[in-house]
């Protein structure tokens, strides 16, 4: 009887832990679409596709950054990007077929990716709030008819951080 009770408790706690990780697991599945370019570990390909690991969590720490991330995924992205001095001139296709829940799950997964080489200032970075389906829907609603150029235009505000001198932010 005691072992049966212990087995039941273990099963319940295991399923509860799995439920908490379901969003990340779903996000990993959705992220497979992105991994073709940004790689499974989010490292990107220098000069071709920017690194996501370790960068998306910083971008997601501001409202403007969260708008940019959602719109880059759902509207696509076009225009030159300068990421830490490396120029990117590709096109990111819109992933408009993703539901709001899919976008939230994928972003929450990408936020969890850690860079291969941590920077000294990463340790003090605040963890951004998780994306929700409702937040993604609200962002999409604020930008009806969004296109890749609009998403590119949102980049500037996404990288402005209080206390930094103009021109010091990533472009």
What tens digit of pLDDT does each residue of 63-72 get?
999 999 999 9
Share of the chain above pLDDT 90, in %: 59
**Token pair 């951080």 is at which residue?**
161
- Please enumerate in sequence order all residues whose Cβ is within 8 A of that of 116, keeping only pairs 6 or more positions apart, or say none: 41, 43, 53
**Token pair 């969260």 is at which residue?**
66
Q: What is the per-residue pLDDT for 125?
A: 55
Q: What is the per-residue pLDDT for 96?
A: 78
| Residue 54 and residue 48 in contact, taking contact as beta carbons nearer than 8 Å | no
DSSP three-state, residue 81? strand
Q: How confident is the model at residue 122 (pLDDT cuts 50, 70, 90)?
A: low
- Please enumerate in sequence order all residues whose Cβ is within 8 A of that of 22, keeping only pairs 6 or more positions apart, or say none: none
| Token pair belonging to 147 | 């296109």
Strand locations in the chain (E): 77-78, 81-83, 86-88, 91-92
Strand locations in 48-170 (E): 77-78, 81-83, 86-88, 91-92
Residue predicted with more confidence, 128 or 119: 128
**Mean pLDDT value across the chain:** 79
Q: What is the per-residue pLDDT for 23?
A: 54
Q: What is the per-residue pLDDT for 116?
A: 75
| pLDDT over 80 at 55, yes or no | yes
| Residue 116 and residue 30 in contact, taking contact as beta carbons nearer than 8 Å | no
Q: What is the mean pLDDT of residues 35-41?
A: 94
């Amino acid at each position: 009887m005691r072992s049966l009770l212990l087995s039941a408790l273990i099963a319940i706690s295991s399923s509860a832990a799995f439920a908490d990780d379901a969003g990340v697991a779903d996000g990993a599945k959705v992220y497979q679409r992105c991994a073709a370019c940004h790689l499974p570990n989010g490292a990107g390909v220098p000069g071709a596709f920017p690194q996501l690991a370790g960068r998306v969590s910083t971008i997601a720490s501001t409202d403007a950054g969260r708008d940019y991330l959602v719109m880059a995924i759902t509207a696509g992205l076009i225009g030159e990007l300068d990421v830490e001095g490396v120029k990117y001139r590709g096109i990111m296709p819109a992933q408009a077929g993703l539901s709001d829940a899919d976008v939230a799950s994928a972003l929450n997964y990408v936020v969890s990716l850690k860079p291969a080489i941590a920077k000294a200032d990463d340790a003090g970075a605040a963890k951004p709030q998780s994306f929700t389906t409702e937040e993604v829907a609200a962002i999409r609603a604020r930008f009806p008819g969004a296109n890749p150029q609009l998403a590119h235009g949102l980049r500037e505000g996404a990288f402005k951080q209080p206390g930094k001198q103009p021109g010091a932010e990533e472009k």
